[in-house]
Structure 1
């Protein structure tokens, strides 16, 4: 496995950008310099993250999300000591 996280990753198993092996390894995301724990999906090249909004669900039972633009810095948690 490479030492750099992918350009785009999602935690939703229905997404084409879902990767169970990478999520098991542990991927953290810094958005605008602040570590976020509620990231549903991110894209580094397009500079956006999709964050969950509390425990609110949509009509299909998926978490409600909102897309934010800004600097995205993914990293592997096992590299952080």
Structure 2
């Protein structure tokens, strides 16, 4: 007969959740995407701060997390939250 015992001390330790990968799309005049920059952040707010630094390179930066549009930043200083 077999006896199965569970060794609680041997259970795996779960590491903290990894940072979310965001994508910042650099958009030129006319709506043409000229580049995509992957961003790693622990929150939408942190990703927004990182994306805002990219605005000077192009007219607009759109920040996405998967299929979720997080925000859009324009060179004129306008910022729009995703839906």
Give the TM bin, normalised by the shorter chain.
under 0.3
User: Larger % of strand: which?
Assistant: 1
Which structure is higher in helix share?
Answer: 2
Larger Rg: 2
Normalised TM-score (structure 2): 0.23
